[in-house]
């Protein structure tokens, strides 16, 4: 399952080149400013970490329920 997510992410990233990334980063810098940008990046990193943690916990619960169903049969 993780491999599929990585392939999808890589296909999305392949379409974005260096000029596009620089334009996006410049626009973000204009919108948020240089003082708020590190705080924004830090909070986004924490949010992604918590999201991945929640997804992992959910997958563990699903696998436990499936194994319990299989053992009951």
60 contacts 68 by C-beta, under 8 angstroms: no
- First-residue to last-residue Cα distance in the chain: 26
Q: Looking at residues 11-18, what average pLDDT do you find? A: 70
pLDDT over 70 at 5, yes or no: no
Q: What is the pLDDT of residues 20-53, one digit of tens each?
A: 888 988 998 898 888 888 898 899 999 999 999 9
Find tokens 């334009």 and name the residue.
23
Q: Which residues contact 59 (CB under 8 A, 6 or more apart)?
A: 1
- And the tokens for 4? 């599929």
What pTM value is reported for the model? 0.52
């Amino acid at each position: 399952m993780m491999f599929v997510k990585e392939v999808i992410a890589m296909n999305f990233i392949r379409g974005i080149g260096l000029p596009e990334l620089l334009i996006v980063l410049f626009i973000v810098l204009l919108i948020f400013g240089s003082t708020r940008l590190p705080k924004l990046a830090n909070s986004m990193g924490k949010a992604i970490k918590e999201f991945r943690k929640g997804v992992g916990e959910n997958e563990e619960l699903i696998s436990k329920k499936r194994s319990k169903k299989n053992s009951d049969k």
